[in-house]
Amino acid sequence: MRRRATIRVRIRAGTEADVDEFIRISHAIWRHSIAKVLAVDIDRWPAIAGVMRVELLPIARRILVATQGPVVVGYSYREGATIEDAESVTVSFPEFFDLLDSVTQR
């Protein structure tokens, strides 16, 4: 019986240099599932990516990163999100609050 190759994944704290990789992974998830589920135009990604980059830079060091060698293969952020300026959300993602209401448990 042939043994499977072992794939090593390392978990480490994120850095500001990882933000582009977070955006790359998020884009794949957006393109393949979230945009379809939310029925949001897939072409909105550039606006969303720009907002994400600005929001991720200050918290990059609090994000856990999974790597295989030099490649980021996943990330996790477990702290809550705070929206300080609701108007800025509606500019880049007008349906955000309607979608939030639809999934909020009451």
Q: How do residues 24-83 score in pLDDT, each as one tens digit?
A: 988 887 777 766 666 667 777 788 788 888 889 999 999 999 998 888 988 888 776 666
What is the structure's pLDDT at 19? 94
10 Å CB burial of residue 99 (0-12, 13-18, 19+) is middle
Distance separating alpha carbons of residues 76 and 66, to the nearest angstrom: 8
DSSP-assigned letter for residue 97: H
Which residues, listed in sequence order, are joined to residue 13 by a DSSP beta bridge? 64
What is the structure's pLDDT at 85? 67
**What are the phi and psi torsion angles at 36 (to 5°)?**
-70, -45
Distance separating alpha carbons of residues 3 and 103, to the nearest angstrom: 44
Residue entry with tokens 């448990």: 105
What is the structure's pLDDT at 91? 63
pTM: 0.62
DSSP-assigned letter for residue 9: -
